[in-house]
Amino acid sequence: MGGVFEPVKGGGAAVALDEIEISILRSLAVQLLELIGPGEPEPAADADPLAVLFASDGPTEPPSDPALARLFPDAYGDPGADPAQGSGKDAEELRARSAEFRRFTENDLRTRKREDALAVVRSLDSLSPAGDGAAVLELTGELPLRWLGALNDLRLTIAARLDITEDDESAVLFRLPDDDPRKPMVMAYLWLGGLQETLIETL
């Protein structure tokens, strides 16, 4: 399989990973969990569902960390990024709408992203490569979509740390000298992109 996902007969996807690849993927997923932060505490069994709903308001301001801002963007864009919309009544309305949307959705989105990353960690923990060979990871049921979500989040996070945008991606990624300290992170970014692309193709 050569480190890329391939379809599995009967549905699902499989990839062969060696011990180093497993270690890198697991480490990245754990770092993603740490970045996202702890999930919401479980409500008591006898809690009023309506009270729980209204007590679980999320944040209204976007995260200050650039990586978290990529993972949890404003629903209506950033009015400050467009000089034509950066001030005035329209911009204030967009900010208010984004804040309201974030308030009711970010906690659930964080929970989903945590579950995706945890699914990656647990899948990898179940693997045991034999000697210096590779172990084959098979994803079935909901796991392919969990992995797809986590791979996307990992790439967004690395892109934020490297300050990569879609416009300058190729120039940044393919022209770094080998002694550039960003090179290992760039290689991880490219590798995760290959995994993501081949997983999408299998689905």
Give per-residue pLDDT as tens, 67-96.
Answer: 999 999 888 776 555 555 555 677 788 888
Alpha helix (H) residue ranges in 72-168? 89-125, 143-162
Give the residue among 131, 114, 135, 185 at the shortest CA–CA distance from 155.
185
Six-digit token pair at 191? Answer: 């590798």
Supply the pLDDT for residue 196.
Answer: 95
- Cα–Cα distance, 193 to 158 (Å, whole number): 11
Give the residue among 159, 153, 191, 152 at the shortest CA–CA distance from 5.
191
pTM of the model: 0.82
Residue 60 has pLDDT above 80, yes or no: no
Contacts of 188 (CB under 8 A, 6+ apart): 24, 28, 158
